A = this chain, B = another copy of it.
């Protein structure tokens, strides 16, 4: 599946989105970043809408669920609302609707509701992910977003492509000018936790903090045959110890630590490398835990590199001449906690759907990726890959939870008069 943002395929999907939501009675607006807002009028049309939202763009070799599932489910929610408000007060006999409406029959009093399609959420074509929601949120300047050039050697910018496909809207891309009452995003988990634990719905509490460091280990090149262990400054052996230790320490603290990139010099079978550089991606749902992990590793990496025993590191083997370790921070993204009201709306909606004795069918989770609020399982945790798969039942569960959460939140707002 390839539907790169602002491509001809994306334009087709956008046109379908506009036509479909308009046919459901929505007013459709496009902002200056091409974000599309489909709004279904409610009883009180002056308040900011409660939205479902996600993205229709994909990775170059992406799956069929990442993003579009949340858009489809949002449209299905609007359709269900329309069908029920206009034609019936209660579920019709139509199977699909009765399925979606199970448990939410008494909550069909909506304020404004809507569905959003965000532009270039993936960051696959223009190299900043969540860039247009970022402009809307005030985190990324409009000019910067406009001037992003497509990856892969082409000359197109986000602005030129927005113009080319006719989705450069007039609405200001700004959360103050165009506010949102709430935003619920249904998304495949993109990880294996639900599937492996038998969970059906994840109620996401927040986005975990992450920091990306580049770790440089410096030792000394030497001949693998003529240099005994005592006289080596083996940067590769040291890096291996640090990677293992980062895992062990992160596990102990309930954090994550991962190395996805590693390069070394000089790169010859019979030369002990004097230089290794590797990425260290550390994550925690708790900023303080992440800081604790970093503090510990900064101290202990230096000790391990110097040959001291730390935990099981250097407990065996031969102490060499030691290496040095340098840290360079590349990305620092603190934890984000979603509003408890919204988390509860998702959780209650899912529990209603799956039964009160649902056990671990509904789980509170932390999102490992950058966004999302309602998770459904995906097979083997695979995403960003054509093998990505979410069963029809799980898609349905997610859609029903989304609708229920929107309706619950609407009722909450109505009760508070906001």
Contacts and interface: CB of A to CB of B under 8 A. Distances in A.
A283 B224 contact: yes
A54 interface: no
A202 B109 CA distance: 92
B283 A279 contact: no
A368 interface: yes
Given A212-B269, A264-B262, A268-B261, A191 B369 contact: no
A46 interface: no
Interface string A218-247: 000011111111110010110111011001
A288 interface: no
A193 interface: yes
Interface string A347-379: 000000000000000000001110000000000
Contact of A273 (B231, B240, B260, B384): B260
A251 to B, nearest CB: 5
B269 A226 contact: no
Contacts of A260: 224, 236, 264, 267-273
B368 A227 contact: yes
A392 to B, nearest CB: 22
A57 interface: no
A255 B259 CA distance: 29
Contacts of A271: 260
A269 B281 contact: yes
A311 interface: yes
Query: Which residue, A241, A316, A383, has most C-beta atoms of chain B within 10 A?
Result: A316
A295 interface: no
Interface residues of A, number: 63
Contacts of A225: 191, 208, 210, 256, 281, 283, 367-369
B251 A261 contact: no
Contacts of A210: 225
A324 interface: no
Stoichiometry, as copies per complex, reads 2
Centre residue among A225, A234, A252, A318 by max chain B CB count within 10 A: A225
Interface in A191-213: 191-193, 196, 208, 210, 212
A122 interface: no
Interface in A258-290: 258-262, 264, 267-273, 279, 281, 283
A229 B251 contact: yes
A312 interface: yes
Contacts of A316: 248, 251-252, 311-312
B281 A223 contact: no
A180 interface: no
Interface string A71-107: 0000000000000000000000000000000000000
A266 to B, nearest CB: 8
25 contacts: A191-B228, A192-B227, A193-B226, A193-B228, A193-B231, A196-B230, A208-B225, A210-B225, A224-B283, A225-B256, A225-B283, A226-B383, A227-B368, A229-B251, A236-B258, A237-B247, A240-B241, A240-B244, A241-B244, A247-B317, A251-B317, A258-B272, A261-B268, A269-B279, A311-B316
Interface of A: 189-193, 196, 208, 210, 212, 222-231, 234, 236-237, 239-241, 243-244, 247-248, 250-252, 256, 258-262, 264, 267-273, 279, 281, 283, 311-312, 315-318, 330, 367-369, 381-384
